A and B are shown apart, each in its own frame.
Chain A
Amino acid sequence: MTGQAEACGVDAHLLQTGDELVVNIGPSHPSTHGVCRVIVHLDGEIVTHAEPVIGHLHRGIEKMAENRTYLQVVPLTDRLDYVGSMYANWAYCRAVERLAGIRVPERAEYIRVVMCELQRIASHMMSIGSTGADTGATSAFIYAFNQREQVVDLFEAVCGARLTYNYVRPGGVSFDLPDGWIEQCRAFTRSHPSAMVEIDKLLFGNVIARQRLKGIGVLPAEEAIARGVTGPAARGSGVDWDLRRDDSYSVYPRVDFEIPLGENGDAYDRGRVRLWECVESCRIIDQALAQIEEGPIKAEGLPRLLAPRPGEAYDHIESARGSLGVYLVSDGSVRPYRMHVRSPAFQNLSVLGYLAEGHTLSDLVVILGSLDPVFGEVDR
């Protein structure tokens, strides 16, 4: 095995560990959710040490942003969390709006909330589906993707794109909702909760899936807070923290919604928190669509080239993976002086080694999937 390990870049000294078997998983592997690479030390089937190696998808997006105008950075943010592009769009635009003091029209805020809640459903469907795929239940994957597909169709109707939307722009959104879109969206939010109940029975109610997910990768609440874990990964442990409520932004204070919490902090609870968040997202979308009024979708009188006054701004939103923040520094020019992304996927991934220790190799992929990392955002 030495030759193979060396070819994969595993240090030779790692192999001198007695009875341990060193397995290099990834960066290209069916269940690494992108290009994660994990160096796993195995004692038989038991993981004694797991170390994620990141950077395989590093494109230097934060550095690239320094050479583009504020508007040109928006498509770059699409490529951060490519399963939930709307979030990165929005977080970046909020930081720009804060930096430049732009007021966003109310209709645009409602549209953003609707889009981001739809995005939460799309992203969670990917995560729940791959929980199924990781445990071998490929049918659950297809059922979840059926739902995701409907959301993506809605996105396509609004902005023409199915993956990288470039939809939320500083000062508003790029297109208004097309005719009939609201009815189409309502039809989806009507059917989606029952589909979630079905997936709950199909996947989380299945006796084998329960055996595979319950008690796997238990993350205590204090540990989640100490290690900066946010989003469903933390709420699965019972950490009652959601920026939509606790640092409310946009029109979230005007809508009524629950925040599902887990108890045990295992892969099962993390998965189910995502599932019920989708049902809550449907409630938010319904309320937002009821409250939305006609009006402009872009801020009036914005210059073609934004050049905010020198200063800095940070804003964060609750993405499907947790607190997604964007920090921007302006030197008064038309380009950001510095951009930094506080990536929830990166923070959540950091507990992988802690969670996986003592579990088997089969559980490692379940734990990795339950943290739902997207490597576009981890590596940036």
Chain B
Amino acid sequence: MSQVNVKIYVENYGKNKEAAIPILQAIQNDYGYLPLDVLNQVCEASEITKSHLYGVATFYSQFKLTPKGKNAIKICKGTACHVKGADVTIVAFKDQLGINIDQTTGDGEFSMETVACLGCCSLAPVVMINEDVYGGLSSSKVRSTLKKYGKE
């Protein structure tokens, strides 16, 4: 995403603190993460203070202050996924991508995080890559799944 006029966020969602979360969601949607300079500009254009915006951005797990990979992998760590071997699936992803949780591959293609529960518990273990949800993603299927996203 190139230059976005930050005023648009303020115009769309308002300039009071009530708008903090929707604005952050919109920025993350456009940039893939929350660039600090954009946050600063939002504070200048609105009545939201820097401490408030930063406080909100670091409280909620959805918000990321560092860039994510082109393909964002979210591995479900809910109860059902846990008892059905999510940890083994995580190790398989780590092995295939050579990164840890909350890291991005050197080429910027993949990033990996764990999430609390995607709500598809009967299909555990569940993994979401970008907007696609995969059920029954045991460790043996990790490689073939990553192939769909261009992983050699």
**Pairing of A with B:** no
Chain A residues close to B by CB (< 8 Å): none
Chain B residues close to A by CB (< 8 Å): none
